[in-house]
Structure 1
Amino acid sequence: MEYNLHPLGDNAVLIELGNEISQEAHEKVQALTAVLETQPPDWMTEYIPAYTTVSIFYDPLLIYQLSSDKLSYDYVCSLIKPLMEGLEASKAADARVVEIPVCYGGEFGPDLEYVAKHNGMTPEEVINIHSSGDYLVYMIGFAPGFPFIGGMSEKIAAPRRESPRLKIPERTVGIAGMQTGIYPIETPGGWQLIGRTPVKLFRPHDDSPTLLKAGDKIKFKPISLKEFENWKETE
């Protein structure tokens, strides 16, 4: 597996597994994170996967004690190389599929009309295209449990808002460029808002505090306002 190593501050190494967002780079990221999750090195304190990279943070004091006067970065690189040997890209065929119901438009999706007008179509066409996409969660970031989801059709792409909103309600579905995502908590944001899901993404009291994880496939399912309200009542 091809990769490049770069220093990241004074206690981390950035492992670059591709130079553009792609399925191939994602599968490499997934393969490496699987190893780090199941066989975490003693010297590692944290790892952060992204679109095409994985950042590995380490304990500088421990590395200093182990490195025998070698530079910490060089020594950590020497420890990373055996991890990368024989690593094979994870295949997305085994990915978990998560269905996300969405109530589109109205008070839940105040920017649906804008997205439709921006792309020369009706709101119903935007909904049909958005809910029929083949989506993949590339990474979790920005806010606890926020999924950056790729695979959206360029037909409904839309720019971020010029002025971000100060408060976006939790579980709101948005579009920014050719990405779609879901706000797991109330937070400021500049994405175009097209709907809301009754499903909680951030679950801090559960063993797994976030519903979604990198590598998941997403299926959006349109639901009515009544279905949304009934779903909330049965939570």
Structure 2
Amino acid sequence: MTLTEHARYSWGGDEFLVVEIAPDMSLEANFVANSIAVGLEDRALPGIIDICPANASLLVRFNPDELAHDELERTVRELETEVKKAAVQELDTRIIEVPVWYNDPYTSETEQRFREGYHQRPEGSDLDYSAEVNGLANAEEFIRRHHETPWLVSMVGFVAGLPFLFQLTPRERQLEVPKYLSPRTDTPPLTVGIGGCFTAHYSVRGAGGYQMLGIAPAPIFDPGQTLADFSDFMVLFRTGDIVKYRPVDEAEYRKIQAEVEQGTYRYKQAPVRFSLAEALADPDSYNRSLLEALNG
């Protein structure tokens, strides 16, 4: 673990503890945030209301009438030390395959309504612009680079069920694209977009500023919990999940939509143990092992 500095602890009123692991997102900082969250949940302290890990921080909401401030802080600091000093830094999680119809007509129509005054390249498309700023030949190459490597769910929030994902590849090969100059007032539900180094998977229709890449056929937020993948919780993704996007054409997109309507659709997924050391030491080899676990 390269994070040698202690996290920064601060209080939000009487009910919130904020733990800032690092000023910037990194695999190491996100691993610490997720591991502390898991450890705190395992401790089952009375008075804990919610534990919210984010990109490089952690927010804990608690009832001060049931849990003293100093006890909570002491416990979290102990967990921080344990995580950073652990000889083996691993996290039990899962890898999920998410089908995406890239360059679809729905996001393409929407982006054309938000060009002049909204976008850096009014004359083009989001995919063309994304390829250009990454020095890639065309939109097809950008799409390939987007789906060929897994992504880590670094946080879930902003809108119910919306994940932010960090690409599991060396920093120099990560895709990075500026957000719109001015946010759109419309984004189709289940749009997959990119802003900065993060992919965002829009759970519902609404405003947005990420460059739109495609659209997914299956929900990631199911308040009615009608699909089996949502039997335990209405939100699909959890921090620490690993996502592999898979490109589909219109025919498969429609087929999956029909399965969703029938209540029979299941996401392809497999349990994995995420190893921070292996992911940092040889990302390409480690990604291959993750995909092998997903594909059996």
TM-score (norm 1): 0.85
2:145 to 121, 126, 129: 129
1:202 aligns with 2:202: no
- Across the aligned residues of Structure 1 and Structure 2, the Cα RMSD in angstroms comes to 2.4
Q: Which residue does 2:96 correspond to in 1?
A: 98
Shift in CA distance, 161/14, structure 1 to aligned 2, threshold 3 Å: same
What are the residue-to-residue correspondences of 1:30-109 with 2, within 5 Å? 30-63=34-67, 73-74=69-70, 76-78=72-74, 80-84=76-80, 86-87=82-83, 88=86, 90-92=89-91, 94-109=92-107
Shift of 1:162: 1.4
How far apart, CA to CA, are the structure 2 residues paired with 1:20 and 1:158?
17
Shift in CA distance, 30/113, structure 1 to aligned 2, threshold 3 Å: same
Cα contact 1:112–1:194 (8 A) shared by 2: yes
Q: Secondary structure at the match of 1:60?
A: coil
What are the residue-to-residue correspondences of 1:145-156 with 2, within 5 Å? 145-151=161-167, 156=175
Q: What does the per-residue CA deviation read over 1:88-134, in whole Å, with 9 as the maximum and x for residues that have no partner?
A: 48515x43111111111132442223323444521111111111123
How far apart, CA to CA, are the structure 2 residues paired with 1:60 and 1:130?
44
Instruction: Please identify, of 123-132 and 36-45, the stretch whose mean Cα deviation from structure 2 is larger.
Output: 36-45
Identity %: 28
Shift of 1:38: 3.0
Shift in CA distance, 228/167, structure 1 to aligned 2, threshold 3 Å: same
How far apart, CA to CA, are the structure 1 residues paired with 2:34 and 2:76?
16
Shift of 1:11: 2.0
Cα contact 1:139–1:214 (8 A) shared by 2: yes
How far apart, CA to CA, are the structure 1 residues paired with 2:168 and 2:82?
33
1:169 to 188, 198, 202: 188
- How many correspondences in the alignment? 226
Q: Which residue does 1:70 correspond to in 2?
A: none
Shift in CA distance, 144/159, structure 1 to aligned 2, threshold 3 Å: same
Q: What does the per-residue CA deviation read over 1:138-164, in whole Å, with 9 as the maximum and x for residues that have no partner?
A: 110111111110017756422111121
Structure 1: runs of 5 or more not aligned: 68-72
TM-score (norm 2): 0.69
Q: Which residue does 2:244 correspond to in 1?
A: 219
How far apart, CA to CA, are the structure 1 residues paired with 2:154 and 2:202?
15
Aligned partner of 2:176: which letter? A
Aligned partner of 2:131: which letter? A
Instruction: Please identify, of 162-171 and 1-10, the stretch whose mean Cα deviation from structure 2 is larger.
Output: 1-10
Structure 2: runs of 5 or more not aligned: 109-125, 226-231, 261-296
1:116 aligns with 2:131: yes
